[in-house]
Amino acid sequence: MEDEFLIETIRNNCDIDEDGHWIWRGRQRYYGAPCMAFRRETRPVRQVLMTLMGQHFQPGIPLVAECGNALCVAPKCIRSKTNADLMTEARKKKSQEKGMFTRLIKPVGIWDQLIKGTV
Helical H segments across the chain, by residue range: 2-12, 45-52, 83-104, 110-116
Q: How many domains does the chain have?
A: 2
pLDDT in tens, 62-86: 898 988 888 999 999 999 888 888 8
Alpha-carbon span 114 to 89, nearest angstrom:
43
- The verdict on 70 and 14 lying in the same domain is yes
- Predicted TM-score (pTM) of the model is 0.69
Alpha-carbon span 105 to 65, nearest angstrom:
33
- The verdict on 14 and 67 lying in the same domain is yes
- The verdict on 11 and 22 lying in the same domain is yes
Q: Are 42 and 50 in contact (CB under 8 A)?
A: no
- The verdict on 109 and 69 lying in the same domain is no
Q: Give yes or no for residue 97 having a pLDDT over 90.
A: no
- The verdict on 75 and 91 lying in the same domain is no
Q: Residue 100: which domain range? A: 83-119
Q: Nearest 5 degrees, angle CA 62-CA 68-CA 73?
A: 60
- The verdict on 114 and 92 lying in the same domain is yes
